[in-house]
A and B are shown apart, each in its own frame.
Chain A
């Protein structure tokens, strides 16, 4: 299927992008509704739309939610999305001083810069990444999957990376259910017809991001939120001159972390915030627009960065781009090294889509910010039943199967238990999506290189990837030990 980038500038696409951005901002602003949840629930609804319109809409929603999370973070001290936590830490004290609007305006202005940085990196590095990816054989593809899952586990598992790796392995194991791709042999299907096609990843994603988060929010006692006054929104232009270095550093952090498989916007935002504090010598948690800039630029640059491995390797850079893969697959578009060959013009179409979504995020935000403040106090008991209904309708619309609804329900319940015990989702999602590729690549490698396995040792890209997998485990273990020692040292005076 060929794509024409000029389609993005038709009135129909522009309208959809504007609506998607507005919806994303409002969605992201509401506490407990994350960007992953927004994209997950909207994927099913795009199945009747043309692929072009579906992509325009989902990208706009994604870009919008990344900024929207800042609104509730700053005004009511509850981050709309996990990546908005640094924004909350630096922005809420500003709101208490009556500068909430200014903090939101600054977040908005620099979110746009972050998006631009991600987009520029995407345009610059896609040809290089595709050229490298085309050199990959099945062996390298297998190692790439393992590298993605291992790195994701290391980064998201934090002080307990083993939980991250276990989730990655668990995801890969889920993907083993169904007929195998080489011989058509049933695996773990127990004569259930629906399982023969395998466990589809879209219901799993909707369950994890929709139902799990709904259960998580409903399980907590609610405290009534009182929004701070918004005040003036438009920030002084002098901020660009004052904070350009911060913006540049945060853009680089957001883009690079985005390009690492499975490392999402929340990691990018935290790393950027910490680096910002170290560089400036300030304590952002006392209220500082620079802290808001660090968080917002990084999580928005993460969008473009996350799309880089997604589009060129078929390995999602973060959870939202995993959902974009699911949405594209729903419309028959399989991303990866052959994207330019299989779908000519798609990458230019994507660049144009990001550009337009970025423009509308900025313009619609000024119109949407003040009204969305009223939604901040909407009780979760009203919002969450809607999310639960969207999860049902979205799953059913994408697959027409109540069996998949039951998969989504189970994924939601299991996800809730895992979430409560500190098991991260990102590696699990990578595993579920990449499992079939890992399975096919490993077995083909063993078959192709039978009797000449030593040749695998002389493939430079393979060696780099293999070292990367080992390094990822080593780094995870080392960091875990360091964290344990630090915690022990902190606890020692208390227990004495």
Chain B
């Protein structure tokens, strides 16, 4: 047995940590540079770009230090392994597909379904999709029931009782209330 096989694997920093600190370096460097082009109507003393410049410069310095520390802890090797997929395969407790699918479903719900459909319909589709993906082993009847009842419960509670405006074009509870009020006014 070689020496490397005998010693337990050393815990290295994740490769993605280098991407995060790298992003911080880029953002802060951009803020530092861009703050010089912000107009200063009454001289440097009250220049609107002064604090962003100081913050951008010092954050860039901190992010570089974080990146260096990450590289020292093996993040660069992990990143290379991540890109070439040559590293040891470990079953993650937090699989990437779960995060990506949750984020995608939330994005579609917020920015595609809600602005274009009745709130209750949008929410029903969202809940059904979420429970289908994440609630393994549940029956379709249960999921459908939940998808139909929960949005109405939420809309009635918040819009019906508290008068809180709901996002999106409209919702059934709002329409029903509007018709009731109109009828009451007309009567």
> Chain A interface (Cβ within 8 Å of chain B)?
44-45, 47-49, 160, 162-163, 165-166, 169-170, 172-173, 176, 180, 182-183, 185, 187-188, 211, 214-215, 218-221, 379-382, 384-386, 388-390, 392-393, 396-397, 400, 402, 405-406, 409, 412-413, 416-418, 420-423, 438-439, 442-444, 446-447, 450, 494-495
Bound form: Cα–Cα A12–B76 in Å: 60
Cβ contact of A384, chosen from B94, B130, B151, cutoff 8 A: B130
Which residues of the partner chain B approach A170 to less than 8 Å between Cβ atoms?
A: 24, 28, 59
6 contacts between A and B (CB under 8 A): A45-B162, A165-B62, A166-B66, A185-B41, A220-B93, A384-B134
CB distance from B66 to the nearest CB of A (A): 6
Which residues of the partner chain B approach A443 to less than 8 Å between Cβ atoms?
A: 45-48, 50-51
CB distance from A208 to the nearest CB of B (A): 15
- Contact between chains at B102 and A219 (CB < 8 Å): yes
Which residues of the partner chain B approach A402 to less than 8 Å between Cβ atoms?
A: 111, 115, 167
- Contact between chains at B41 and A447 (CB < 8 Å): no
Which residues of the partner chain A approach B39 to less than 8 Å between Cβ atoms?
A: 185
- Contact between chains at B55 and A447 (CB < 8 Å): no
Which residues of the partner chain B approach A218 to less than 8 Å between Cβ atoms?
A: 98-99, 102, 134
Q: Which residues of chain B from 107 to 141 have a CB within 8 Å of any chain A CB?
A: 107, 109-111, 114-115, 123, 126-127, 130-131, 133-135, 138
Bound form: Cα–Cα A173–B95 in Å: 32
Given A185-B38, A384-B130, A392-B167, 10 more contacts at CB 8 Å? A44-B164, A166-B59, A219-B94, A221-B98, A385-B130, A388-B109, A400-B165, A443-B47, A443-B48, A495-B8
CB distance from B163 to the nearest CB of A (A): 5
- Contact between chains at B164 and A397 (CB < 8 Å): yes
Q: Which residues of chain B from 51 to 104 have a CB within 8 Å of any chain A CB?
A: 51-52, 55-56, 58-59, 62-63, 65-66, 69, 93-95, 98-99, 102-103
- Contact between chains at B102 and A215 (CB < 8 Å): yes
Q: Number of contact residues on B: which range applies?
A: 35 or more
Which residues of the partner chain A approach B167 to less than 8 Å between Cβ atoms?
A: 392-393, 396, 402, 405
Which residues of the partner chain B approach A388 to less than 8 Å between Cβ atoms?
A: 106, 109, 126, 130
- Contact between chains at A446 and B146 (CB < 8 Å): no
Cβ contact of A380, chosen from B27, B93, B134, cutoff 8 A: B134
The 5 lowest CB-CB distance pairs between A and B, nearest first, are A381-B135, A381-B134, A180-B48, A396-B167, A169-B59
Bound form: Cα–Cα A494–B9 in Å: 10
Cβ contact of B158, chosen from A166, A172, A393, A422, cutoff 8 A: A393
> Chain B interface (Cβ within 8 Å of chain A)?
7-8, 10, 14, 16-17, 20, 24, 27-28, 31, 34-35, 38-39, 41-42, 45-52, 55-56, 58-59, 62-63, 65-66, 69, 93-95, 98-99, 102-103, 106-107, 109-111, 114-115, 123, 126-127, 130-131, 133-135, 138, 146, 150-151, 154, 158, 162-167
Which residues of the partner chain B approach A442 to less than 8 Å between Cβ atoms?
A: 50-51
Q: Please give me the residue from chain A that is nearest to B166 by CB atom.
A: A393
CB distance from A54 to the nearest CB of B (A): 11
- Contact between chains at A382 and B56 (CB < 8 Å): no
Bound form: Cα–Cα A379–B107 in Å: 22
Cβ contact of A188, chosen from B16, B20, B34, cutoff 8 A: B34
CB distance from A13 to the nearest CB of B (A): 17
- Contact between chains at B7 and A495 (CB < 8 Å): yes
- Contact between chains at A447 and B46 (CB < 8 Å): yes
Bound form: Cα–Cα A85–B69 in Å: 29
- Contact between chains at B20 and A417 (CB < 8 Å): yes
Which residues of the partner chain B approach A185 to less than 8 Å between Cβ atoms?
A: 38-39, 41, 48
Bound form: Cα–Cα A49–B163 in Å: 10
CB distance from A121 to the nearest CB of B (A): 34
Which residues of the partner chain A approach B154 to less than 8 Å between Cβ atoms?
A: 386, 389-390, 393
- Contact between chains at A211 and B106 (CB < 8 Å): yes
CB distance from B55 to the nearest CB of A (A): 5
Which residues of the partner chain A approach B150 to less than 8 Å between Cβ atoms?
A: 385-386, 389
Bound form: Cα–Cα A23–B5 in Å: 54
Which residues of the partner chain A approach B41 to less than 8 Å between Cβ atoms?
A: 183, 185
Q: Please give me the residue from chain B that is nearest to A494 by CB atom.
A: B8
Which residues of the partner chain B approach A220 to less than 8 Å between Cβ atoms?
A: 93-94, 98
Cβ contact of B93, chosen from A182, A221, A450, cutoff 8 A: A221
- Contact between chains at B131 and A381 (CB < 8 Å): yes
Given A221-B93, A409-B110, A495-B7, A396:B166 Cβ within 8 A: yes
Cβ contact of A162, chosen from B28, B38, B66, B109, cutoff 8 A: B66
Bound form: Cα–Cα A188–B55 in Å: 14
Q: Please give me the residue from chain A that is nearest to B123 by CB atom.
A: A389
- Contact between chains at B51 and A439 (CB < 8 Å): yes
Cβ contact of A379, chosen from B111, B126, B135, cutoff 8 A: B135
CB distance from B53 to the nearest CB of A (A): 10
Cβ contact of B24, chosen from A166, A422, A447, cutoff 8 A: A166
Bound form: Cα–Cα A170–B66 in Å: 14
CB distance from A218 to the nearest CB of B (A): 5
Bound form: Cα–Cα A400–B167 in Å: 8
Which residues of the partner chain A approach B109 to less than 8 Å between Cβ atoms?
A: 388, 392
Given A211-B106, A380-B134, A439-B51, A48:B162 Cβ within 8 A: yes
Bound form: Cα–Cα A239–B120 in Å: 51
Cβ contact of B99, chosen from A182, A215, A438, A446, cutoff 8 A: A215
CB distance from B30 to the nearest CB of A (A): 9
Given A183-B41, A187-B38, A381-B135, A47:B164 Cβ within 8 A: yes
